[in-house]
Amino acid sequence: MHIAVAITGASGAPIAVSLLRALSEHEVSLVVTPEGERILALEAGEADLPAAHRYHYADFASPLASSSRAPDAMVICPCSMRSLAAIAHGLSDNLITRCADSMLRLRRPLVLVPRETPLSQPALDNLRLLASYGAQIVPPMLTYYFQPQSVQDLTDFAAGKVLDCLGVAHRLYRRWAEEQP
Protein backbone atom coordinates (compact mmCIF):
# COMPACT_ATOMS: atom_id res chain seq x y z
CA MET A 1 0.00 0.00 0.00
CA HIS A 2 1.36 3.43 -0.97
CA ILE A 3 0.52 6.01 1.71
CA ALA A 4 1.25 9.72 1.58
CA VAL A 5 1.92 11.25 4.99
CA ALA A 6 1.97 15.02 5.43
CA ILE A 7 3.10 16.95 8.50
CA THR A 8 1.79 20.50 8.73
CA GLY A 9 2.36 23.36 11.15
CA ALA A 10 0.37 22.21 14.15
CA SER A 11 1.38 20.63 17.43
CA GLY A 12 1.36 16.84 17.43
CA ALA A 13 4.49 15.90 15.48
CA PRO A 14 5.26 12.92 17.79
CA ILE A 15 2.03 11.28 16.55
CA ALA A 16 3.37 11.52 12.99
CA VAL A 17 6.69 10.00 14.08
CA SER A 18 4.88 7.06 15.72
CA LEU A 19 2.70 6.67 12.62
CA LEU A 20 5.68 6.68 10.23
CA ARG A 21 7.50 4.07 12.30
CA ALA A 22 4.41 1.84 12.27
CA LEU A 23 4.17 2.21 8.48
CA SER A 24 7.76 1.04 7.89
CA GLU A 25 6.56 -2.02 5.93
CA HIS A 26 4.59 0.17 3.49
CA GLU A 27 5.63 2.52 0.71
CA VAL A 28 5.46 5.96 2.29
CA SER A 29 5.78 9.35 0.61
CA LEU A 30 6.42 12.17 3.08
CA VAL A 31 5.73 15.89 2.69
CA VAL A 32 6.43 18.40 5.46
CA THR A 33 5.60 22.11 5.44
CA PRO A 34 8.27 24.58 6.64
CA GLU A 35 6.27 25.23 9.82
CA GLY A 36 5.81 21.47 10.19
CA GLU A 37 9.62 21.09 10.06
CA ARG A 38 10.02 23.69 12.81
CA ILE A 39 7.44 22.07 15.07
CA LEU A 40 8.81 18.60 14.33
CA ALA A 41 12.27 19.72 15.51
CA LEU A 42 10.75 21.34 18.61
CA GLU A 43 8.53 18.41 19.64
CA ALA A 44 10.40 15.36 18.35
CA GLY A 45 14.01 16.54 18.09
CA GLU A 46 16.09 14.75 15.49
CA ALA A 47 13.56 11.95 15.04
CA ASP A 48 14.27 9.48 12.26
CA LEU A 49 11.40 9.74 9.78
CA PRO A 50 11.28 6.53 7.76
CA ALA A 51 9.85 7.17 4.31
CA ALA A 52 10.58 5.71 0.90
CA HIS A 53 10.20 9.13 -0.74
CA ARG A 54 10.34 12.66 0.59
CA TYR A 55 8.99 15.60 -1.39
CA HIS A 56 9.16 19.35 -0.95
CA TYR A 57 5.77 20.83 -0.11
CA ALA A 58 5.92 23.12 -3.19
CA ASP A 59 7.01 20.39 -5.65
CA PHE A 60 4.16 20.26 -8.15
CA ALA A 61 6.34 18.04 -10.39
CA SER A 62 6.11 15.31 -7.74
CA PRO A 63 4.11 12.18 -8.58
CA LEU A 64 1.85 13.10 -5.64
CA ALA A 65 0.65 16.15 -7.57
CA SER A 66 -1.02 14.02 -10.25
CA SER A 67 -4.20 12.05 -9.68
CA SER A 68 -2.89 9.55 -12.23
CA ARG A 69 -0.08 8.71 -9.76
CA ALA A 70 -2.01 9.28 -6.53
CA PRO A 71 -1.20 7.13 -3.50
CA ASP A 72 -3.66 4.57 -2.16
CA ALA A 73 -4.32 6.70 0.94
CA MET A 74 -3.21 9.94 2.57
CA VAL A 75 -2.80 11.04 6.18
CA ILE A 76 -2.24 14.63 7.29
CA CYS A 77 -0.89 14.41 10.82
CA PRO A 78 -0.96 16.84 12.42
CA CYS A 79 -3.32 18.86 10.25
CA SER A 80 -3.23 22.61 10.82
CA MET A 81 -6.43 24.62 10.59
CA ARG A 82 -4.89 26.43 7.60
CA SER A 83 -4.42 23.17 5.69
CA LEU A 84 -7.84 21.96 6.78
CA ALA A 85 -9.50 25.14 5.45
CA ALA A 86 -7.58 24.99 2.17
CA ILE A 87 -8.61 21.37 1.57
CA ALA A 88 -12.24 22.03 2.57
CA HIS A 89 -12.46 24.84 0.03
CA GLY A 90 -10.50 23.25 -2.83
CA LEU A 91 -7.40 25.45 -2.59
CA SER A 92 -4.66 23.24 -4.03
CA ASP A 93 -1.85 25.71 -3.40
CA ASN A 94 0.85 23.26 -2.27
CA LEU A 95 1.66 19.58 -2.70
CA ILE A 96 -0.21 18.57 0.45
CA THR A 97 -3.48 20.27 -0.45
CA ARG A 98 -3.14 19.14 -4.08
CA CYS A 99 -2.69 15.50 -3.07
CA ALA A 100 -5.58 15.77 -0.58
CA ASP A 101 -7.77 17.15 -3.36
CA SER A 102 -6.88 14.13 -5.50
CA MET A 103 -7.81 11.80 -2.64
CA LEU A 104 -11.24 13.40 -2.40
CA ARG A 105 -11.76 13.41 -6.18
CA LEU A 106 -10.76 9.75 -6.45
CA ARG A 107 -12.67 8.77 -3.30
CA ARG A 108 -9.54 7.33 -1.71
CA PRO A 109 -8.92 7.38 2.04
CA LEU A 110 -7.98 10.81 3.40
CA VAL A 111 -7.36 10.85 7.15
CA LEU A 112 -6.99 14.20 8.89
CA VAL A 113 -5.61 14.58 12.42
CA PRO A 114 -6.63 18.11 13.43
CA ARG A 115 -4.76 19.64 16.35
CA GLU A 116 -6.60 22.60 17.78
CA THR A 117 -8.64 23.18 20.90
CA PRO A 118 -11.05 24.71 21.46
CA LEU A 119 -12.39 24.65 17.91
CA SER A 120 -13.78 27.80 16.31
CA GLN A 121 -17.01 27.80 14.34
CA PRO A 122 -15.14 28.07 11.00
CA ALA A 123 -12.95 25.09 11.98
CA LEU A 124 -16.03 23.05 12.92
CA ASP A 125 -17.68 24.00 9.63
CA ASN A 126 -14.57 22.94 7.69
CA LEU A 127 -14.41 19.63 9.58
CA ARG A 128 -18.08 19.00 8.81
CA LEU A 129 -17.53 19.80 5.13
CA LEU A 130 -14.55 17.48 4.87
CA ALA A 131 -16.39 14.66 6.63
CA SER A 132 -19.27 15.11 4.17
CA TYR A 133 -16.75 14.82 1.31
CA GLY A 134 -15.54 11.49 2.69
CA ALA A 135 -12.48 12.48 4.72
CA GLN A 136 -12.00 10.70 8.04
CA ILE A 137 -11.43 13.06 10.95
CA VAL A 138 -9.30 11.61 13.75
CA PRO A 139 -8.66 14.16 16.51
CA PRO A 140 -6.00 12.84 18.91
CA MET A 141 -8.25 12.38 21.93
CA LEU A 142 -7.00 11.35 25.35
CA THR A 143 -8.20 7.85 26.24
CA TYR A 144 -7.82 6.06 29.54
CA TYR A 145 -9.52 2.65 29.23
CA PHE A 146 -6.23 0.99 28.28
CA GLN A 147 -4.49 2.56 31.31
CA PRO A 148 -1.71 4.49 29.58
CA GLN A 149 1.52 4.67 31.52
CA SER A 150 3.18 7.45 29.55
CA VAL A 151 2.69 10.24 27.04
CA GLN A 152 4.13 7.83 24.45
CA ASP A 153 1.26 5.42 25.16
CA LEU A 154 -1.23 8.22 24.39
CA THR A 155 0.76 9.18 21.29
CA ASP A 156 0.77 5.58 20.05
CA PHE A 157 -2.98 5.35 20.70
CA ALA A 158 -3.60 8.33 18.42
CA ALA A 159 -1.32 6.87 15.72
CA GLY A 160 -3.06 3.52 16.11
CA LYS A 161 -6.46 5.08 15.47
CA VAL A 162 -5.11 6.50 12.19
CA LEU A 163 -3.79 3.05 11.24
CA ASP A 164 -7.23 1.61 12.02
CA CYS A 165 -8.75 4.03 9.48
CA LEU A 166 -6.25 2.82 6.88
CA GLY A 167 -6.92 -0.85 7.64
CA VAL A 168 -3.29 -1.36 8.70
CA ALA A 169 -2.79 -3.98 11.42
CA HIS A 170 -0.82 -2.85 14.47
CA ARG A 171 -0.19 -3.40 18.17
CA LEU A 172 0.24 0.25 19.18
CA TYR A 173 -2.47 0.09 21.82
CA ARG A 174 -4.53 -2.44 23.75
CA ARG A 175 -8.03 -2.67 22.38
CA TRP A 176 -11.15 -2.56 24.54
CA ALA A 177 -11.45 -5.65 26.80
CA GLU A 178 -8.14 -7.02 25.47
CA GLU A 179 -5.58 -8.29 27.96
CA GLN A 180 -2.43 -6.25 28.48
CA PRO A 181 0.40 -7.44 26.18
Q: pLDDT value at position 170? A: 94
Whether 172 maps to a domain, the answer reads: no
Please give the model's pTM, rounded to 2 decimal places. 0.94
Kindly report the CATH number assigned to the domain that includes residue 113. Answer: 3.40.50.1950
Whether 177 maps to a domain, the answer reads: no
Whether 110 maps to a domain, the answer reads: yes
Asked whether the predicted pLDDT for residue 51 surpasses 90, the reply is no
Indicate the residue type of 169.
A
Whether 176 maps to a domain, the answer reads: no
- As a whole-number percent, the residues of the chain with pLDDT over 70 amount to 98
> Residues 13-48: pLDDT tens digits?
999 999 999 999 999 999 999 999 999 999 998 777
Asked whether the predicted pLDDT for residue 129 surpasses 60, the reply is yes
State the residue range of the domain holding 146.
Answer: 2-166
Q: What mean pLDDT comes out for the span 85-93?
A: 97
pLDDT band at 181 (very low <50, low <70, confident <90, very high): low
Total number of domains constituting the chain: 1
Q: What's the mean pLDDT when you consider all of the chain?
A: 94
